Structure formats: C-alpha cells, structure tokens
Amino acid sequence: MIKVEFAERLRHLPPYLFAEIDRLKREEIKKGADLIDLSIGDPDLPTPEHIVESLRKAAGRPENHRYPSYEGMPSFRQAVAGWYKRRFDVALDAQTEVLSLIGSKEGIGHIPLAFAGPGDVVLYTSPGYPVYPVGALFAGAEGYPLPLLEANGFLPDMGSVPADILKRAKLLFINYPNNPTGAAADGEFFEKIVEFAGRHNIIVCHDAAYSEIYYDDKKPASFLQTPGAKEVGIEFHSLSKTYNMTGWRLGFAVGHKEVIAGLGRIKTNLDSGVFQAVQEAGITALDTKDEELSGIRRTYQQRRDALYSGLTGQGIHVIKPEAAFYLWAGCPKGFDSRSFAKHLLEKAGVVATPGVGFGQPGEGYIRFALTVPVDRIGEAVQRIGKSL
C-alpha cells in the first residue's frame, strides 16, 4: 500500500466552513432533531419554470452535447453584455470583456493563478467568502485580510494597508452587497477603490453575486459603473442567487479585457467550459422581466423583516441588511461565535454559521441565512428565545 502525503498547500488549508457545519447537522439529525437550517446561502425557492423549460429544450438538441466554447457561447456572452447595459448602463464588448464561468466561485478561486504567485500578496475583505484567501493559497501567494468593522459600515480602511504589503499586492477582492454582513457600498466608496487600485497597480476583483437581492427598492450599484473601474478590474457575477440556480453552476466575469484574458487562459487549461444547454437556459434567465424577480425579492424581504424583528425582540443585536439574504447578528453576552452556534444547534435546533468562520474579524457575530419560509423563521425565533 502506498503512503499518501498531501501537498503542502493542503496541509495549510483550513477545513471548509460549510463541510464542518454539514457534519454537525448530520450528528443532530441522527439524534432525531428537527433542525431549522439558517446556515448556508442556498435558496430554497425553485428556479423559475420558464428557465427550467429552456434547459429541457436545449438539452434535447444534439449540437449541445459536444464540447462547449471555452470562453462561453457568443450568444450567452452577448446576453450578459445586454443585461449589464439594461441593469447598470455599462457597455461591454461581449467578445473580449465577458467570460463564462462554472459558477462565480470557480472564477474567484482561479484568478489568483493568473496574476499572483510566491512573494505576492492578495488583499481581501474579512469577514468574507472563504474562497478569497484559499485562491491565494493555491496560487502560492500570501493573503492579507482587510477587516470589515461595524463602526466603519463594514467597509475596509484602505489607508491601513502597510506600505510593504502594497508593494507586493497584485489583487484586491471586495464584495458588495456583502456576504456575510449584508452591507452595501455606494459610488463614493467605489471611486476610492478605483483611485487606490490605479495608484498601486492592483487588480480589483469585485464579487457582485448578490446585487439583485436587495430591499426597500434600493438597487445596489455595480463597481463597473464607476468612472475608470474597467481600467483597473473586473466584476464577478452569478446566476445562482438571482434566479435560484445554485446547482446549475453558471456565472460570468466582466471588465478589463486583459484581466479577462488572463483568467480565460487558466480556464482553457483546467476546464472545458459550461454545458451549452445550461448557457442557453442562462440566456433565458438574463432576459427574465424584472417583474418576476421582484416576487423573489418580496419573499426575501418578508423573511428579512420577520427574522430581524424577531431576533431584536429577543434582545439580540442585529444589523439590518440592505441587500443579500443574510442577517449578521451579534452574539449574546457570554458567547463567542462558535459557542453560540453550538448552543443554537443543540438547544434550539437552529443551524447558523459562526462569524469567525468567515475570518477573525467576524468573531463575536453569527450569520443567519433567509433560506426557509416565514413560518419556520417564526418558529426559529421562538426556539432561540426559549434557549436563552
């Protein structure tokens, strides 16, 4: 029998946060617990039927059964460009400034391979999506977290980055609307990021996966709407959250054509593109009228309002999100984020995500996902109240 030794990069890799949560959930389910799962951001709402029907038809066409284009079907990339023009009034060259992805996670994880290596630094906001620092690790680069603090509106202080770090920095990951805090960013912040990136020659990677899940009719901006943004970076997007298509694995990156080309070179060597039938369904999704999507947003607004009022009624400090389908809540006195998540799981049968799992600045908070119906949210609030 061979002796299996993991590569050095795996020895430094932390356990993936949600895999550990799944393990703890399984243990409680074995005990017969009725769990209300507010942990992972996986929409419980179905993909709209007209998108499913589009896939059914496309999957039956033999021409879609062959290898797809590495960069994405020209018609899909054109649909992305059309959506950006309608939604943000941002003009994109579909041929050179749009790239299809097997979900935005894939592109986020791969882009450091194109632009960073040993001795380089990747800046990223923290707490944040765990893939930002992991992508840097896989590229052999050093990740440098930028703390998101409640006192600063969960926006990073770019002036706090040391000069020696800036000299080695190649990429900057930002994410608004933000996961896990639910914070949004305005044009003034994006202007500062454009200036910062240009001054230090750093590629901006804006993760905008939650731009279409917003509340009180306050539409989030795109980073690319900012003058000069397309000269310093790109934006990642996904169909997962907007259209309830998490399992379909379809997303895209848009922006600076040379950055898009670099990511595309990585992809041509590591994957063979997105199934064309899924891309055709993606075109249907991107052409969906906003009236249909507004119904999805109303559902999340009802859930947000129910959980926010319920938790605050229990004396828990909650940041009311402007967008995304998460609530970022402070842990009650006597708990850190891990112990409070464990308490909720074992004493209330409610699954939530400890804030520290998103980075050390997330300690003291816990994230709830709005991915169960309102009645179950009400039950979760009652259980949490009794457990405290």
Domain boundaries, the chain: 8-46+291-387, 49-286
Q: Using an 8 Å Cβ cutoff, are 97 and 257 in contact?
A: yes
DSSP 3-state of 108: helix
DSSP letters along 203-232, please? Answer: EEEEE-TTTT-BSTT-PPPPGGGSTTGGGT
Alpha-carbon span 217 to 311, nearest angstrom: 23
List b or e across 237-265, with b for residues whose CB sees 16 or more CB atoms inside 10 angstroms.
bbbbbbbbbbebbbbbbbbbbebbebbbe
List for the chain the helix, strand, coil content (%; round to 5): 50, 15, 35
Question: Domain 49-286: which topology?
Answer: Aspartate Aminotransferase; domain 2 (3.40.640)
Q: What pLDDT was estimated at residue 248?
A: 97
Q: What pLDDT was estimated at residue 17?
A: 67
Q: What is the mean pLDDT of each run of 10 residues along the chain (388 residues)?
A: 90 74 80 89 94 98 93 97 98 98 97 98 97 96 98 97 98 98 96 98 98 96 98 97 96 98 96 96 96 93 98 96 97 94 93 95 97 97 95
Would strands 318-319 and 326-330 be described as parallel, antiparallel, or unpaired? antiparallel
Q: What pLDDT was estimated at residue 292?
A: 86
DSSP tag of 141: P
Q: Using an 8 Å Cβ cutoff, are 35 and 350 in contact?
A: yes
List b or e across 92-108, with b for residues whose CB sees 16 or more CB atoms inside 10 angstroms.
bebeebbbbbbbbbbbb
Q: What pLDDT was estimated at residue 103?
A: 96
Q: For residue 75, which of 257, 260, 267, 274 has the smallest C-alpha distance?
A: 274
CATH 3.40.50.740 corresponds to the domain 8-46+291-387: no
